[in-house]
Amino acid sequence: MRTEQPKTIYLKDYQAPEYLIDETHLTFELFEDHTLVHAQLVMRRNPERVAATGVALPPLVLDGQQLELLSVSLDDVALAPADYVLTDSHLTLQPKAERFVVDSSVRIHPESNTALEGLYKSGGMFCTQCEAEGFRKITYYLDRPDVMSKFTTTLSGEQLKYPVLLSNGNLIASGAEEGGRHWATWEDPFKKPAYLFALVAGDLWCVEDAFTTMSGREVTLRIYVEPENIDKCQHAMDSLKKAMKWDEEVYGREYDLDIFMIVAVNDFNMGAMENKGLNIFNSSCVLARAETATDAAHQRVEGVVAHEYFHNWSGNRVTCRDWFQLSLKEGFTVFRDAEFSADMNSRTVKRIEDVAFLRTNQFAEDAGPMAHPVRPDSFIEISNFYTLTVYEKGAEVLRMIHTLLGAETFRKGSDLYFERHDGQAVTCDDFVKAMEDASGLDLTQFKRWYIQAGTPRLAVSESYDAAAKTYSLTFRQSCPPTPGQKDKQPFVIPVELGLLDGQGRELPLRLQDEEAATGGNRVLSVTEAEQTFTFVDIAEKPLPSLLRGFSAPVRLSFPYDRDQLMFLMQHDTDGFNRWEAGQQLSVQVLQELIGQYQRGEALALDQRLVAALRTVLENEALDQAMVAEMLSLPSEAYLTEISEVADVDAIHAAREFARRQLASALFEPLWKRYQANREQSRQTTYVAEAGHFARRSLQNIALSYLMLSERPEVLAACLEQYDACDNMTERLTALAVLVNSPFAEERAKALAAFAEHFKDNPLVMDQWFSVQAASTQPGGLERVRALMEHPAFNLKNPNKVRALIGAFAGQNLVNFHNADGSGYRFLADIVITLNGFNPQIASRQLAPLTRWRKYDASRQTLMKAELERILASGELSSDVYEVVSKSLA
Ligand code: ARG
Ligand code: ZN
């Protein structure tokens, strides 16, 4: 068999398929040492292609990888090897008529599929992951999203081992076979691309509920899990019902099948997958209850359940024409789930979390060697493009459209999009066109957000003319070059802003050529490289509050001084910008400390930061979650991202110094609020709800500061919280704080007790690994190596890899970037090992090494050497090859 080399695929080469598959009939015979897959494809020529291809029937090129072909026939005539061409990735046949039926049988090996793509086993159950190109590892097919087909699926397996047999759509028949086997047939009435196919077989229990849709249809809801997890499904079920209701209310979208199923699996490369009617989830995104999952985990479950559910419209009913359009469904769906979470919890806090995450991680990606547009124009391995750019920046692009159109017009646009394209596979251009048609706006220039990579810089300057009472803001935008894109055209940047007077009141806003003022908050559209807006009737020089709510994913700069930032922290009417002012103040103060450290000077903290945080801490009227957010200093990763050259040790030393100074200066108010909140926690049972999240978040950040004092009463409080709390949020914080403390004995005791108590709960053990992997105390690498030997660790399980290796390389920056290069060598070894059995996970773990340009010359050399060693290590998957070679280019 011929081996085909991985090659670059270009968007500009897109062609519609030569053939279509009207019906797909699949039969799976599941055995312990192999699985047989029989596929019957009812096909016809694509009429759209006849003009381009000519009358003669072109060959039919089916995708297929790692399949053992047992037989193939065309219209019931068995084909001999001479009748087809077989390579390691394609099966090519010659159809004899415009309409025909292809039957094939293949043998596959889910039991030894460690890549977790296609059909594989997780623990004792069979499950699938087909997006993006996993279906070709199941059977020969046109594995591309613009080929949509009606599927029927029959699966059979041993009754005792696999009592539950599931696939997409509705169960239409089932029965027993001799030999202790049984079967079930599922039919999905909706046409779908193969990437939305799913199958599950296992010994699963389910929690069942129901939802009545807005038109009065009754939908059965089921969450399937391994029996020991049946008590951890309620939160996901509640989240699902909330999401279904929200999508009806906010988008007018109703669910379309009679049943909606979620299955939790322990071995999963990503978070979850929106297969039609049968979502398959990483168990970390389903299972949650007070004793085992943190508040953050509860919110993640709520968000991911909603995300996958929302895909039923934004992704499934309307899907992508090709994988370059991935953000069509992912950017839109992340925007939808973010708005859902904002409505369910605190809107401002959700925005703060998302922006901090975007600026730390997506901005870094967009400034690195893998930078690509929201709609990429080429790739080698599509799995590498499930990125922060496609997802999170894609969601920001949708948010900007929402901001520019307003909620009501945006809804008209989404209605038009769903109505116009229901049942189709479409492009980002089609989406934007619907928004243009609904609004009358021309979004031609706006579309640069889809095609230009890189994070724009927006430098703002002001000038005030007291005599004329005018105030002008000048915006200068630019965008650094990214791979393959040297010069950038100006973006459309929506800047939401207000102007504050000396008392912090919003001034009425009237631009020079306007008739009348329009309130104190508005959105300016910056469209040129340099552009000035002049406001009139401004009686005193105002303080601008810019980019409110982070209205565009840009790097904004305005020459605020520290007193102005303190003023904004207290007075800005926009909650997000109050937080942002605090972050900017912290950044200025921390950068000053970093400079002092680098010059070998004594560190001195600007006391204004202490004063500002004291005010926040003593204000009992403020939302406690906001207080917690404002007390959180910018992370080391964020400080790295905004540095020209990141000095790992200086960043760590400066930030730790600031934390200690704050802890000691603010001990009294921190202790007061800690005790008050802990007392409330003691008196209430756990509730997964915004007010409670807020209380615990302030309690926990207070504890982490207080422990820096090393006072005995704080240690006692920490141990009390650890022992007496009723939930993982308090317990894990107490553990993390101990792990980072000098109290070696208490630390060891707590770690051992925790592991003993939770040894049978893999998701909780993930937390236990992460807390230790992220500990910045010296000797981090040795600790991680030792933990890899722990019986609960397993390199084959992606959650474990992320919990230990990912947390070490991504969060423990001082240890990972140890100047001796040991962290880099370790990560490269792991990547080489992972490459051998799970390319997707290998490629993702690589990310920290791709950031080599951020560091000093000596670290750069060490990091590049490891990338080169990976490149030379032998047979590389296309996943790892693409990331390594682009990083070295
Ligand atoms: N569509 C899924 C989601 O965002 C993710 C699938 C990821 N697949 C992959 N090969 N990376 O909900
Ligand atoms: Zn998604």
pLDDT in tens, 809-839: 999 999 999 999 999 999 999 999 999 999 9
Residue 198 Cα, ligand 2 centroid: separation in angstroms?
16
Q: Which helix (H) or strand (E) holds 69?
A: strand 68-74
223-233 mean pLDDT: 98
Question: Are the CB atoms for 333 and 316 separated by under 8 Å?
Answer: no
Q: What is the pLDDT of residue 745?
A: 98
Atom of ligand 1 nearest to the CA of 311: 12
For ligand 1, say whether the CB of 383 is within 6 Å of any of its atoms. Answer: yes
Atom of ligand 1 nearest to the CA of 132: 10
| Among protein residues, the one whose CA lies closest to atom 8 of ligand 1 | 131
- Assigned domain for 236 exists: no
Q: What is the pLDDT of residue 6?
A: 83
| Among protein residues, the one whose CA lies closest to atom 5 of ligand 1 | 273
Write out the catalytic residue numbers: 308
Q: What is the pLDDT of residue 283?
A: 98
pLDDT band, residue 4 (cuts 50/70/90): confident
Atom of ligand 1 nearest to the CA of 272: 12
- Assigned domain for 136 exists: yes
For ligand 1, say whether the CB of 876 is within 6 Å of any of its atoms. Answer: no
- Assigned domain for 101 exists: yes
| Among protein residues, the one whose CA lies closest to atom 12 of ligand 1 | 273
Q: What is the pLDDT of residue 2?
A: 78
In Å, what is the CA distance from 758 to each residue of 292, 399, 754, 865? 9, 41, 6, 40
Q: Per the structure block, which two tokens stand in for 730?
A: 């308090």
For ligand 1, say whether the CB of 131 is within 6 Å of any of its atoms. Answer: yes
Helix axes 407-421, 428-439, angle to 10 degrees: 130
Residue 1: pLDDT over 80: no
Please give the order of strands across the beta sheet that includes 522-526. 522-526, 493-500, 543-545
339-348 mean pLDDT: 98
Instruction: Supply the CATH number for residue 80's domain.
Output: 2.60.40.1730
Residue 394 Cα, ligand 1 centroid: separation in angstroms?
14
Dump pLDDT digits (tens) for 607-652: 999 999 999 999 999 999 999 999 999 999 999 999 999 999 999 9
ipTM of the complex: 0.98
Residue 5: pLDDT over 80: no
Q: Tokens 């915006």 map to which residue?
A: 475
- Assigned domain for 551 exists: no
Residue 129 Cα, ligand 1 centroid: separation in angstroms?
9
Residue 326 Cα, ligand 1 centroid: separation in angstroms?
10
pTM exceeds 0.95, yes or no: yes
Q: What is the pLDDT of residue 444?
A: 98
- Assigned domain for 223 exists: no
In Å, what is the CA distance from 772 to each residue of 169, 326, 747? 43, 36, 11
End-to-end CA distance of the chain: 32
Residue 357 Cα, ligand 2 centroid: separation in angstroms?
17
Atom of ligand 1 nearest to the CA of 391: 4
For ligand 1, say whether the CB of 381 is within 6 Å of any of its atoms. Answer: no
| Among protein residues, the one whose CA lies closest to atom 1 of ligand 1 | 273
Distance CA 4, CA 6 (A): 7
For ligand 1, say whether the CB of 309 is within 6 Å of any of its atoms. Answer: no
For the chain, the domain total comes to 1
Residue 430 Cα, ligand 1 centroid: separation in angstroms?
22
CA dihedral 823, 826, 832, 836 (to 10 degrees): -130
- Assigned domain for 44 exists: yes
871-875 mean pLDDT: 94
Dump pLDDT digits (tens) for 694-705: 999 999 999 999
Q: Per the structure block, which two tokens stand in for 162?
A: 């696999």
- Strands 470-478 and 530-535 turn out to be antiparallel
For ligand 1, say whether the CB of 386 is within 6 Å of any of its atoms. Answer: yes
For ligand 1, say whether the CB of 272 is within 6 Å of any of its atoms. Answer: yes
Q: What is the pLDDT of residue 170?
A: 98
Pocket test for ligand 1, best of 131, 137, 192, 385 (most atoms within 8 A of CB): 131
Residue 385 Cα, ligand 1 centroid: separation in angstroms?
10
Rg (C-alpha) for the chain, rounded Å, is: 28
Dump pLDDT digits (tens) for 680-719: 999 999 999 999 999 999 999 999 999 999 999 999 999 9
Distance CA 130, CA 360 (A): 30
156-177 mean pLDDT: 98
- Assigned domain for 72 exists: yes
Question: Are the CB atoms for 810 and 846 separated by under 8 Å?
Answer: no
For ligand 1, say whether the CB of 115 is within 6 Å of any of its atoms. Answer: no
Domain that residue 173 falls in: 18-203
385-402 mean pLDDT: 99
Atom of ligand 1 nearest to the CA of 315: 1
Closest CA to 249 of 241, 257, 238: 241
Residue 3: pLDDT over 80: no
Torsion sign over Cα 342, 343, 346, 348: positive
Pocket test for ligand 1, best of 273, 304, 305, 379 (most atoms within 8 A of CB): 273
Q: Which ligand is nearest to the CA of 196?
A: 1
Residues paired with 457 in a beta bridge: 478, 555
- DSSP codes of every residue in 115-165: S--EEEEETTEEEEE-TTTTGGGTSSB--STT--EEEEEEEEEETTT--EE
The residues, any chain, with a CB within 8 Å of residue 342's CB and separated by 6 or more, are 350, 351
- Assigned domain for 196 exists: yes
